């Protein structure tokens, strides 16, 4: 006969196993399969991004005033920054809900004339209910906005090339990562007919519209349309960029929404690259010998001055050379210590992977960027185009 200590515990019932399975499925659905560490990183990134959003509405005036400013004053300004993001009606809901939650006694009881206890009113309950209603209204707005942004993202993806075209003598790879759902960065590679029958040149373009999210994405779409349209006319590269600048001025809100751009024209036969750098980060040519050249000839960003003039530069690419075109979001990406990724680190990756293919080197560069940044939220769009001369 078994002693009590040797008696095996009864197996879990079918009902308890079913409840456990339902709870597991519910948790999987809520978290989408993410681990706790991943959820914490996501929460930390969201919290930092939200804080930066509200922080923009109150800036430190000076170092001395910053020291004198009390915690209460900072909290007050931060609270106003949150309130001003809501509509007036929702501000009232928020304030009323908070007041009810902070009510000292939590509620009161109506006493009947006979002296018996009547209806009890719980202020904390109604305060929580008001905040829940406010949350549902904000979630509804977010869902509608997210749906619209996803549609805009799909349209933007349709405007940008999914894969690089076949260009004689070149291997091309590109990648873009928007800081938000949609981006203000633009890249493209396409054939451009020339005056000589049978001759085709290829246009390479990378641009960065000032700002982020929807406003920048809308201007990016107009930039794409103007470049595609104007490039079909038989004009020089300088005339093309000058026309784009004049068009950009009409859509730049007085120069506030300017665009930096690098636009180049490649001739496959002589491997000649003509280019104009309109205020963009200077692309890098890494020669087969390992030497580095910068492509900086050009002028000011598009959309600032209607009568701006642009100089064109020219270089001949040789087999084994690399051309790296990027936006400032790549080199200015920050890690948790506030350090920038920087051009030296980018060039180290380029030098170390010079023997790889364009696709492979692009993967290495994006991976190195991910390792450097870690869980730090992305604050700007990142675009990179790598071209290997074959």
- What does the pLDDT look like over 79-101, one tens digit per residue? 777 777 788 888 888 888 888 88
Burial of 2: CB neighbours in 10 Å, binned 0-12, 13-18, 19+: exposed
Grouping H, G, I as helix, E, B as strand and the rest as coil, residue 291 is coil
- The whole-number pLDDT of residue 63 equals 41
- The whole-number pLDDT of residue 41 equals 74
Percent of the chain with pLDDT over 70: 83
Judge contact between 201 and 227, C-beta under 8 A.
Answer: no
- The whole-number pLDDT of residue 105 equals 67
For the CA atoms of 75, 80, 85, 89, the dihedral, rounded to the nearest 10 degrees, stands at: 130
- The whole-number pLDDT of residue 278 equals 96
Q: How far apart are CA 324 and CA 343, in angstroms?
A: 11
382-389 and 322-326 strand pairing: antiparallel
313-316 and 272-278 strand pairing: antiparallel
Number of other residues whose CB lies within 10 A of the CB of residue 196: 8
Instruction: Give the phi and the psi of residue 48 in degrees, each rounded to 5.
Output: -65, -45
* Domains present along the chain, CATH in parentheses: 45-57+71-108+119-159 (no CATH), 160-389 (3.60.40.10)
Q: Tell me which residue of 194, 201, 180, 190 sits closest to 159, measured CA to CA.
A: 190
First to last CA, the chain: 84
- The whole-number pLDDT of residue 3 equals 52
Judge contact between 113 and 130, C-beta under 8 A.
Answer: no
Q: Tell me which residue of 310, 330, 291 sits closest to 208, measured CA to CA.
A: 330
Alpha-helical regions (H) of 7-70: 14-31, 36-55, 63-68
229-245 burial by CB neighbour count: b if 16+ within 10 A, else e? ebbeeeeebbebbbbbb
Contacts of 301 (CB under 8 A, 6+ apart): 210, 258, 259, 260, 261, 278, 279, 280
Q: How far apart are CA 374 and CA 377, in angstroms?
A: 9
Q: How far apart are CA 320 and CA 322, in angstroms?
A: 7
pLDDT digits (tens, 9 = 90+) for 196-234: 566 789 999 999 998 777 778 888 888 898 999 999 888
Point out the residues of the chain with pLDDT beneath 50: 1, 60-64
CA distances from 75 to 57, 65, 71, 72, 314 (A): 13, 15, 6, 5, 56
- The whole-number pLDDT of residue 151 equals 78
CA distances from 370 to 217, 225, 295, 376 (A): 24, 32, 27, 10
The token pair at 69 is 């400013």
Q: How far apart are CA 340 and CA 344, in angstroms?
A: 10
Q: Tell me which residue of 338, 185, 313 sits closest to 259, measured CA to CA.
A: 185
Query: Model pTM?
Result: 0.71
Contacts of 53 (CB under 8 A, 6+ apart): 85
């Amino acid at each position: 006969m078994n002693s009590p200590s040797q008696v095996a515990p009864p197996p879990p019932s079918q009902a308890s196993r079913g409840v456990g399975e339902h709870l597991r499925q519910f948790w999987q659905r809520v978290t989408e399969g993410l681990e706790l560490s991943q959820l914490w990183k996501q929460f930390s990134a969201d919290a930092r991004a939200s804080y930066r959003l509200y922080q923009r509405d109150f800036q430190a005036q000076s170092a001395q005033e910053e020291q004198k400013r009390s915690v209460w004053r900072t909290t007050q300004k931060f609270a106003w920054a949150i309130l001003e993001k809501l509509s007036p009606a929702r501000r009232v809901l928020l304030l009323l809900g908070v007041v009810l939650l902070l009510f000292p006694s939590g509620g009161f009881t109506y006493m009947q004339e006979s002296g018996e206890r009547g209806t009890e009113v719980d202020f904390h309950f109604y305060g929580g209910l008001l905040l829940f209603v406010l949350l549902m209204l904000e979630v509804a707005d977010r869902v509608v906005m997210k749906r619209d942004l996803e549609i805009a993202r799909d349209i933007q993806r349709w405007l940008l090339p999914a894969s690089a075209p076949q260009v004689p003598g070149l291997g091309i790879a590109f990648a873009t990562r928007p800081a938000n759902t949609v981006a203000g960065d633009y890249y493209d590679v396409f054939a451009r007919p020339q005056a000589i029958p049978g001759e085709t040149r290829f246009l390479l373009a990378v641009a960065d519209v000032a700002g982020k999210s929807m406003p920048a994405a809308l201007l990016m779409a107009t930039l794409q349309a103007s470049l595609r349209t104007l490039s079909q006319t038989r004009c020089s590269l300088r005339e093309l960029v000058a026309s784009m600048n004049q068009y950009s001025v009409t859509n730049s809100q007085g120069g506030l929404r300017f665009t930096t751009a690098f636009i180049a024209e490649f001739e496959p036969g002589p491997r000649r690259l003509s280019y104009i750098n309109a205020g963009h980060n200077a692309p890098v040519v890494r020669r087969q010998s390992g030497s580095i050249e910068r492509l900086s000839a050009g002028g000011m960003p598009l959309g600032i001055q209607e009568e701006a003039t642009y100089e064109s530069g020219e270089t001949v690419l040789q087999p084994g050379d690399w051309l790296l075109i990027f936006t400032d979001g790549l080199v200015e990406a920050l890690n948790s210590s506030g350090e920038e990724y920087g051009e030296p680190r980018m060039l180290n990756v380029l030098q170390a992977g010079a023997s790889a293919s364009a696709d492979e080197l692009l993967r290495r560069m994006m991976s190195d960027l991910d390792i450097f940044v870690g869980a730090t939220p992305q604050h700007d769009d990142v675009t990179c185009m790598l071209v290997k001369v074959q």
